[in-house]
Amino acid sequence: MWVARVDEGFVFGDLTPASVETLTGVPMLLESADARVRARLLPETCHEADDEEQWRRHAVPELERLFLSRAQLVRRDLATLRKMPKSEHKLLLIPDGHASAWLAALNGARLALYVMHDLDAAAMEPEGFAKATPKQQEALLRIHLLAELQSVLLGDLDLEPSGPFEEFVIE
Amino acid sequence: MRVRAATKTKTEADTKGKTETQLAKPWNVVVHDDPITLMNYVTKVFMQVFGYGKDKAHRLMMEVHKDGRSIVWTGAREQAEMYAQKLQAHHLLTTLEVVDG
């Protein structure tokens, strides 16, 4: 995968079929009905039962609506994935205006993968990977890939501007 | 009738008093550590949600990372709930607690 900065936003290129599969899984993870995912994305917030009930009644439905609309935005951007010339690999543009929603969506998806695969803090360390099951290793690879995208959107990489997306030359 | 009326008045006064006490108490917004969320992301969210400067946001993020939790804001309940909701919107593990004493 490579990354470029264009006028409209960030371009992620040379996305392998496995990377595309991971990305297309992001909205589904945000919409997951899995109890572990819901418990993590909509955690218990208040100590007192009355306060918690009030929180569930007022704050949680708004959060649920936000996560769904974010999943839809990510899905719309993924629908514009372009096939790269002479390759099965793909190209994704994340517009600047969507970067914040993508950042949160990627975080939610990474947390969902973490709880769905019963991972723990030790598994996130380099030596933890070898001890994980094959399914957990696959989840860890997806978590790390999504973290790479987050790092780019956070501006951790210093990218040179490459002009408008339509004039962007793919070598 | 008189007894019932007196009882009702007392109950209302008690409820009102309890509610006022709870409302008057400040609430803490607490963010807890998790091994997934990127540190830079946490800093950015603190800056965005609270308008904190980079140094303060970074310090609070490090507190979460090292101590496992950090009180990131304290104040009126309604506002604390609003902040907690915003932090959870970014998937930061956030709870609310009434400040005792």
B41, B94, B98 ranked by CB distance to A150: nearest: B41
Instruction: Tell me which residue range forms the domain holding A110.
Output: 14-80+95-157
Contact criterion met (CB < 8 Å) for B88 and A104: no
CATH number given to B25-98? 3.30.1390.10
pLDDT at B76: 96
- Strands B94-98 and A90-95 come out as unpaired
Residues 144-163 of A with CB under 8 A from B: 147, 150-151, 154, 156
Kindly list the strands in the beta sheet with A90-95, ordered across the sheet, starting from the edge strand earlier in the chain: A2-5, A9-15, A90-95, A82-83
Separation CA A27–CA A106 (nearest Å):
9
pLDDT tens, chain B, 101 aa long: 333 333 344 444 444 555 555 557 999 999 999 999 999 999 999 999 999 999 999 999 999 999 999 999 999 999 999 999 999 999 999 999 999 86
B35, B41, B85 ranked by CB distance to A59: nearest: B85
* Residue A64 domain-assigned (yes or no): yes
Render pLDDT for A66-107 as a digit per residue (tens, 0 to 9).
Answer: 999 999 999 999 999 998 888 889 999 999 999 999 999 999
* Residue A165 domain-assigned (yes or no): no
Q: Which residues of B touch A44 (CB under 8 A)?
A: 95
Total structural domains within chain A = 1
* Residue A90 domain-assigned (yes or no): no
Q: pTM to 2 decimals?
A: 0.88
* Residue A102 domain-assigned (yes or no): yes
Measured over the CA atoms of residue A122, residue A128, residue A134 and residue A137, the dihedral's sign is positive
Give A171 to chain B, closest Cα distance, Å: 32
Measured over the CA atoms of residue A117, residue B63, residue A52 and residue A58, the dihedral's sign is negative
ipTM value > 0.90:
yes
